[in-house]
Structure 1
Amino acid sequence: MSYKNILEEIDDNILTITINRPKKLNALNRETIQELHDALKEAKSDDEVKVVILTGSGEKAFVAGADISEFADYSPKEGKGLAADGQKKLFDYVANFPKPVIAAINGFALGGGLELALAAHFRVASDNAKMGLPEVSLGVIPGYGGTQRLPQLVGKGRAMEMIMTAGMIDANQALQYNLVNHVVELGDLLEFTEDIAAKIMKNSMVAISGAIKAINANYDDGVNGFETEINEFGRAFGTEDFKEGTTAFLNKRKADFPNK
């Protein structure tokens, strides 16, 4: 499929989706959110895709925020609809995606850009990255999951401070806060992230999908994460991957998972 605002590349079962609006520092507008949804929906059913990497074009920005010009004159009802639609189409969709999604943060990840990175299953940052949720400086709050996902990663106090001050933190501070898993030089960012993806793909993708579901359940209000884990654990016993993994272990060889 051809897109206006994003680029796609599949190599060795890794789909790299690059947000490509360099003149706008890759800011998210409604069209880009829809394109990202469409690309991910296609990747979900594509057996060739095992891991997704999200990144931004250029060296300045992952995503520098939402495109404010689109909603500056919105009413309260329109603002609520904007947040609900965006969360459903992209941010919640990424968080609950059945295949691993890694954010490779190259440069600024602000507002909706940081919220997109937060929705990914984990994050790798370049050493020039800067992250923040500056929405209160515009008289609004994070609306794409930032008030929920940031505290889960960095703790309530740090999330409160970041959101209230509208300030930015650098990559090393983000690492200290557990907001990102790794910090690497900008030129090594994609290769490093691809290496992690390659390690992931040595394992059962069916089991990984179950693990994503179980881990996420712990953060869903009213959902018993332990119960979800038990169910996913039991479901794994009926997969071809379980048969191959246990057989390979008992025969002291490497598993060759069919991912079924």
Structure 2
Amino acid sequence: MPSTDNGNVTFSKSSNGIATISFSHPAQNSLPTVLLNDLAGYITQMGNDPEVKVIILKSGGDRTFCAGASFDELVEIKDKETGALFFSGFAKVINACRKSSKIIVARVQGKAVGGGVGLAAAADYCLASSFASIKLSELAIGIGPFVISPAVTRKVGLSAFSQLTIRASDFQTAQWAHEHGLYNDVYEDTASLDSAVVELTEKLASYNPDALAGLKQILWEGTEDWDELLTQRAAISGELVLSEFTQQALQRFLSGNR
């Protein structure tokens, strides 16, 4: 497991078949490659575990659900292959969620940016707090949300996705995300959110697991080409991150946050 300074991913299982996968990183729960790989691995592992009936996906802290890609790692990318490999990490997580036979419930307690919006979209059901505003900021740094776009568009539709992408500097509220289908329910505070997560996952864990697995297949119909599609999208992002525009934007961001 990575050190605390580099973040970590943990998992636990309850006696009634509820698995909880939690990630954290000191930089607003951003996701470097090692955490993306761990997330994908644990999602796959819990999906294959016959004792697990439902999966909760959550992050640490109370301010930010996920700030997306690790800018520290992005600025170190020097070739297309490394860039494609980094963005493939998000593809692996989305595809792990898609292929899991278990229903995945996301708990979004705070802001979601970029890849964090993709994580929320990759869940089968998403519960959020009123503080969980969202933003796709990729255009502002010279890339685009290419890897996560199939997952986000699947939830919110093309028009709302276009708004999120083009208004790259603007946060949309949790209520906006609810109205457009990214969040299924929004709660006033974290305590209410956590109670709702417990109530929902306990109900799901009591249902017929074969019925849940069948539902999961229906929910993801038409996405069978995503292994190839998201790999192609990762290559596009991996090339764009090398541009002078993007490298300068990343340096400005990092300088302003240190």
TM-score (norm 2): 0.78
Checking the alignment, whether the CA contact within 8 Å between 2:90 and 2:115 is kept in structure 1 is: no
**Matched residue, 1:82:** 86
Which of 144, 149, 152 in structure 1 is aligned with 2:151? 149
Matched, 1:39 2:20: no
- The verdict on how the C-alpha distance between 1:56 and 1:211 changes in structure 2, with shifts beyond 3 A counting, is same
Kept in 2: contact 1:83–1:143 (CA 8 A): no
**How many residue pairs were aligned?**
218
Distance in 1, Cα, partners of 2:54 & 2:177: 24
Which residue identity does 2:209 align to in structure 1?
M
Q: Which amino acid aligns with 1:124?
A: L
Is the alpha carbon distance of 1:149 and 1:44 closer, same or farther for their aligned partners in structure 2, counting shifts above 3 Å? Answer: closer
1:209 maps to which residue? Answer: 213
Cα distance between partner residues in 1 of 2:213 and 2:38? 23
Distance 1:85 1:27 in 2: 13
1:184-236 alpha-carbon deviations (Å, 9 max, x no partner)? 121122221121112222221112112211221234469xxxxxxxxxxxxxx
Please give the alpha-carbon distance, in whole angstroms, between the structure 2 residues aligned to 1:57 and 1:84.
23
Distance 1:142 1:164 in 2: 11
Structure 2: 5+ residue stretches without partners: 227-258
Structure 1 length normalisation: TM-score?
Answer: 0.77
**1:160-239 equivalence runs, <5 A:** 160-166=162-168, 167-184=170-187, 185-220=189-224
Contact 1:65 1:112 (8 Å CA) reproduced: yes
Q: Kindly indicate whether residue 120 of structure 2 is the aligned counterpart of residue 124 of structure 1.
A: no
Distance, in Å, in 2 between the alignment partners of 1:14 and 1:30 is 26
User: Higher RCO, 1 or 2 (CA under 8 Å, sep at least 6)?
Assistant: 2
Tell me, in whole angstroms, the C-alpha distance in 1 between the residues paired with 2:105 and 2:34: 22
Q: For residue 52 of structure 1, what is the amino acid of its counterpart?
A: I
Q: Give the greater-gyration-radius structure (CA).
A: 1
Taking the aligned partners of 2:60 and 2:82, their CA distance within structure 1 comes to: 30
SS in structure 1 at match of 2:182: coil
Query: How high is the sequence identity, in percent, across the aligned residues?
Result: 24
Tell me, in whole angstroms, the C-alpha distance in 1 between the residues paired with 2:204 and 2:45. Answer: 21
Tell me if the contact between 2:132 and 2:173 (Cα under 8 Å) persists in the aligned partners. yes
